[in-house]
Amino acid sequence: MPSSDAGRTAAHDRLAFIAAETDEARSAAQSLAEHYGATDPDEADVIVALGGDGLMLSCLHRFMSSGKPTFGMNRGSVGFLMNEYAVEGLHERIAAAHITTIRPLAMRATTSHGEVFEAKAINEVSILRQSHQAAKLSILVDGRPRLRELICDGILIATPAGSTAYNLSAHGPILPINAQLLALTPISAFRPRRWRGALLPLHVHVSIEALERRKRPIAAAADAVEIRNVAKVEVREDPDAACIIMFDPDHSWDERILAEQFMY
């Protein structure tokens, strides 16, 4: 469950700078390290991520459940998860930042050969067709069949944190960061054509099974981890894992999600 707390709760003096593989991000990391000094990430109080949303997700995964918050500054493209970049006043910004704790999804994927893979997802778990054939899926919630046959390009299970990412591009709903909900969003549904997805309580166990999997192979992805030739995917919130992200108070995650709903 995501939660928000304003203000500084611990010493945030030791900063580690992690940059994306771009000249702009690396130059920013060098400038900040010269200005504030750089600490090894394992010893740092705060991780400062310099890049775009992909780098932020990578840092959140890397430092998941470590207790280390990540403060991102945009040196990439979209930067929805990032704050504005500036060299000056970083300690003050971090001290005043709003802190949001995110609980990721736990994905368990079983392949057609019986292999089992587990991964965490901060944004979404996506199930996607693996060939020219549309996927044919069965959806169960807490063990109860809810949609016995869905023919589609795929389906997403998105967290509130991920509801403005791939989920939004697939015409799924935007969820407030503290919503106790998951978005179940089809991608190009063919049958039933009018099904637009569902909002599920955060605590549910979702199981998606591949039908006709030899003819219609599917892949499952938890953020950047992809498993191919999947027979069954199980998804639930992981109550034992946590990611901590920091935002400037005048540009909080709640404000970003609200503003996103009025964009055109």
Q: What positions carry a catalytic annotation?
A: 53
Secondary-structure breakdown of the chain: helix, strand, coil percentages, each rounded to the nearest 5: 15, 40, 45
Q: Is the dihedral of CA 246, 252, 254, 256 positive or negative?
A: negative
> Which two structure tokens, joined as six digits, stand for 136?
């044919």
Task: Give the separation between CA 77 and CA 54, rounded to whole angstroms.
Answer: 10
Say how many CA atoms lie within 13 Å of 120 toward its Cβ: 18
Tokens of 110: 């079983």
Give the span between the Cα atoms of 8 and 237, in whole angstroms: 27
Strands (E), the chain: 3-6, 15-19, 46-51, 70-74, 98-102, 105-111, 116-121, 124-129, 135-141, 144-152, 154-158, 181-187, 198-201, 206-210, 218-222, 225-228, 230-237, 243-247
Residue 139 DSSP label: E
